[in-house]
Structure formats: C-alpha cells, structure tokens
Amino acid sequence: MIFVIVRTVIWSTLFIGVVLWVFPALILARAGIRGPASFGVWQVVGLLVGLGGLGLALTCVTAFAFLGRGTPAPFDPPRRLVVRGPYRVVRNPMYLGAWLFLVGFALFYRSAGSALYAIAFLAAMHAFVVLYEEPTLRRAFGHDYDEYRRRVSRWWPTSGR
C-alpha cells in the first residue's frame, strides 16, 4: 500500500504541477498578468470554484489509491473499479475537479487565455475519456463497468442509482 501511495503522490504532483499550475502560469506570463488588479468578487468566486475543484480532484486521487489500489496515471491505473466517493455520482470527477480549478484560476485572474485553456482542457479530457479511457475500462472491468456506465453519467452528477 505504501508503494501505491508513493506512486500516486508522484504522478498526481506531476499532473497538478504541470497541467494545473505551470501551463496556466505560462498563459498569464505571456499575457503580462502578474496578479489581479484588485481583490474583489471575481477573486472570491475564483478562489471558491478553484479550491472546490482542487479538493474534488484530490479526493479522487485518494480514492484511486485507497479504493482502487492504483494511480490516476493511465499507465498505472487502479486495479479495482472505483465507484464510491465522488465516483458514485459522476464517472469523471477528477477531470471535473481539475477543470473547476482551471475555471477558478481564470476567474481569479480574469484571464481570457486561462478561460480558453480551461475549455481546451475539458475538450481534451472528453476526447481522452471517449477514445481511450472508456474502452480500456470496459475491457478491464467488463459487466461491472457497463453497469456503472448505465447508472452514472459521464460528466453531469446524478444520483448514481
């Protein structure tokens, strides 16, 4: 279990560090944005959305490690199908959490470039899910995954019955 946790921390840190921090920071730097001009409603909303998204993503990473015995990395996936926690109500909460973080980042800095990056991120994750992840999960978990897909929406939270 310790090895799973170490792997999860490494891959999650790389993903969060590069995709959710380095790329958005580069976008701000190219636009000449060093910080918000003032601290107001946009920053409060951005913080709430962003921190909520980050919390959701980290909850999912923890679920992958402890429930699935794997990591978020496609080359080191969970060994068990994770259908509890946030996965009980939406099939891709980790991507949604990361996207919410990016939306919060864009709102906080009022950055159109960051907003476009958030849209591109969601489009890329949708393509990845449809073209790679869902077929891979179907092969790995068969009927259990098909049943899960029937009960739980890909992107929009449901009751998960």
Question: What is the per-residue pLDDT across 96-117, written as a single tens digit (0 to 9) for each?
Answer: 999 999 999 999 999 999 999 9
Residue boundaries of the structural domains of the chain: 2-151
Among 92, 65, 79, 54, smallest CA distance to 7 is for 65
Interval 18-76: pLDDT, tens: 988 999 999 999 999 888 878 999 999 999 999 999 999 999 999 988 898 888 888 87
Amino acid at 21: W
Of 31-40, 68-77, 81-90, 151-160, give the lowest mean pLDDT range.
68-77
Interval 118-134: pLDDT, tens: 999 999 999 999 999 99
Which pLDDT score, from 0 to 100, does residue 160 have? Answer: 57
Which pLDDT score, from 0 to 100, does residue 26 have? Answer: 94
Among 65, 61, 64, smallest CA distance to 82 is for 64
Which pLDDT score, from 0 to 100, does residue 64 have? Answer: 87
Query: Residue 119 corresponds to which tokens in the numbers above?
Result: 């849209």
Distance CA 137, CA 68 (A): 13
